[in-house]
Each structure stands twice: as structure tokens, then as C-alpha cells.
Amino acid sequence: INKIAVFTSGGDAPGMNPCIRAVVRTGIYYGLKVAGIRQGYQGMIENNIVDMDNHSVSNILQLGGTILKTARCLEFKTPEGMQKAYDNLKKNKIDALVGIGGDGTFTGLERFSSKFDIPVIGVPGTIDNDLYGSDYTLGFDTATNTVIEAIDKIRDTAESHARLFFVEVMGRDAGCIALRAGIAGGAEAIMLPEKDTSIKDLIATLAAGAAKNKTSGIVIVAEGDKNGGAFNVAKRVKEVFNFYDTKVTILGHLQRGGSPSSFDRILGSRMGFAAVKALIAGEHRKTVGLRGNEIVLTDIVEALNGHEFKLEDDLMEMSTILA
């Protein structure tokens, strides 16, 4: 390979920029040309591709989001869209790809590379931390820190007014952010998609706290909790249990932004570095991941099929004991 291209796709996540920087600088160090594709698969189809050098990734290590922009692109799912993308890559003399994104991005890489002869490596970037093949995905640590910071602030007002807050955090299918932020922020209860907590049980927990003179409370509700989000949970609790002044805060998209944490900067750098080294070593159709403290490669089909992501038993157990 002589020239590689890097792109970000799907949901943005803090840590993508450190990864882009690592891909560009590692590629150049090993004598490759490096291009950046803007707006993910959309940019591939529209030939929105720019050559990059060491300088084009200066001063981005600390930036949230992605300097290459990201997009969701339906056209890439069609054979015509893929053909256009491939033609543009050839026009730009690109002969290998590093794609940073989530499940959808990996699916795109898998389909594209089974149709066309082009080596691809996927880097897991999503705040949800719900991909197979890596213990941590880019952006998860920063997002969790953002949530903890918000919980700390909410606790100040909760405590001053004897309020009960229901704080909704991101996680449609995975409660990873909710669980960790709940533990680190000392939440009274955590509602997760992975665990069926009934409103009745939640009220029992809150009432037990009130009986022990807890003067305020914070309940973390993951977006994907089966009771239907923080507003619904708050409403149903309030119908029965009206001890506190009840408030709801939806943290929403602020969880996606912000300067990447040291963990995400280092993880992004490691994964970008490893992705380029893998391409140079002739690897193809793999994802990069962190297992324990080691960078590993996983076959992309295995990564897509392996939905065995699971919250840690000790964290689950501890979260109720320590609350």
C-alpha cells in the first residue's frame, strides 16, 4: 500500500481527533501518503477527500468532535453508492481505509470490502461502549466524566432544596455510562436497559433512603431503560411517593462533546497507531481494540456478530450496596 485514507462516520465521539492525528502521523512516519475523507461515507461518494500532512493534524489532540466531520449516509448502502465511493477512492489513489465509528460504520466497512478489493481496518468510536472486540470504545470515558461532573452539580441544588432528581443519560441499548456514572456520582438508584427495575422497587429504595433521613436523591435513568425515560419514571414515582420535590434533567447531547479525557486521547492514539501498523503488516477486514491493557485485532465479521457485551457483575452488585 502507498496511500491510506482515514474517516469518521456515524455518531461523533471525543477521542476521534487524537485517533485521526495518530493515523496521519503514523502513516507519514512509515512513508505512506495519507488522505482524510470528510463526512464519512458521504464524502467518499461526493469525493470530499483531502490530502493530509503532519501539520493538518496539529493542535487537534484536545478537541472534541471530529475535524473530518461525520455523517449518516443512506446512499452508501446501495450498490450504486458503493461504486461511486470506490471510483473516488481509485481517483485519489487510495488503497486502504481506516474507518472510525460504531456498529453501522463497521457494517459499511465489511460490506464494502467484501465487494471491492480494498484493505479496511475499523476503530471503535462511540460513547456507548457497546462494541464487541474492545473493552473500551473511544469517547466512553470522556462522556462518563461529563455525566459525573453534571451529577456533582445537580447534587448541590438537590441537597440545598431537598429535591429528588431523575437524570437521564445516553445509552439506548447499553447502560455502561449510566452504571459507571451512577457509581462514581453516588446515585441513589440506577435504571438500566440491562436490568428490569420496577417502579415499585425503585420507590422502595427511595423510601428506605428517606426513612434514613436522606435529604435529597439522584436517580440515573439510561435512555433505554424499559420504563420509558426519566420523565416517565419521575411521573410514576411521584404519583405514589411524594416525599421530595421532584425534578428531571435530560443531559442529552452535551454528553457527546468536550475535550477528550487523557484516557480517550491515549486510547485514540494507540488505536490509530495500531490501525496503520496493521495495514502495513497486511492485515485486512479487522477491528482494533483494547483488551485488558493490550491492543488486539478482531476479525470484522466476528466483531459485528459478537453481541456478547455485558455489564460487569461486580459493578452491578456494588451499585446497590454502596448507594
**Residue in 168, 163, 167, 227 with CA at minimum distance from that of residue 195:** 227
The CA radius of gyration of the chain, in Å to the nearest whole number, is 22
Member of 108, 122, 268, 289 binding ligand ADP (CB under 6 A):
108
CB of 237 to ligand ADP, least distance (A): 33
Stretch of 3-11, 153-161, 212-220, 276-284 lying at the interface with ligand ADP (CB under 6 A): 3-11
Q: Are 179 and 190 in contact (CB under 8 A)?
A: yes
127 belongs to an annotated ligand binding site: yes
Helices assigned H by DSSP within 259-307: 262-280, 300-305
Stretch that binds ligand ADP, among 45-53, 103-111, 240-248, 265-273 (CB under 6 A): 103-111
Query: 249: annotated binding-site residue?
Result: no
Could you tell me which residues come within 8 angstroms of residue 204 by beta carbon, excluding any fewer than 6 positions away? none
Q: Closest by alpha carbon to 193, among 172, 220, 166, 164?
A: 172
Out of 8, 126, 137, 319, the residue judged to bind ligand ADP by CB under 6 A: 126
Q: Which of 9, 17, 142, 146 binds ligand ADP (CB under 6 A)?
A: 9
Is residue 41 part of the contact set for ligand ADP (CB under 6 A)?
A: yes
Per DSSP, which regions of 53-188 are E strands?
Answer: 96-101, 120-124, 163-169
| 25 appears as a binding residue in the annotation | yes
Does 84 contact ligand ADP by CB under 6 A?
no
Give the whole-angstrom CA distance, residue 89 versus residue 208: 62
* Alpha-carbon torsion angle 15, 17, 18, 19, nearest 10: 90
- Residue 103 engages ligand ADP in binding (rule: CB under 6 A): yes
Pairing of strands 189-191, 217-222: parallel
Spatial separation of the C-alpha atoms in residues 4 and 37, rounded to whole Å: 10
Q: Which of 6, 7, 8, 10 binds ligand ADP (CB under 6 A)?
A: 10
Query: Is residue 128 annotated as a catalytic residue, yes or no?
Result: yes
Q: Which of 51, 95, 117, 128 is catalytic?
A: 128
**265 annotated ligand-binding residue:** no
**Binding site residues for ADP, as ranges?**
21-25, 155, 186-188, 212, 214-216
> Which residues contribute to the annotated binding site?
11, 21-25, 72-73, 102-105, 126-128, 155, 163, 170-172, 186-188, 212, 214-216, 223, 247, 253-256
> What residues line the site for ligand ADP (CB under 6 A)?
9-11, 41, 72-73, 76-77, 101-105, 107-108, 111, 126
Instruction: Mark the binding-site residues for Mg(2+), compressed into ranges.
Output: 103
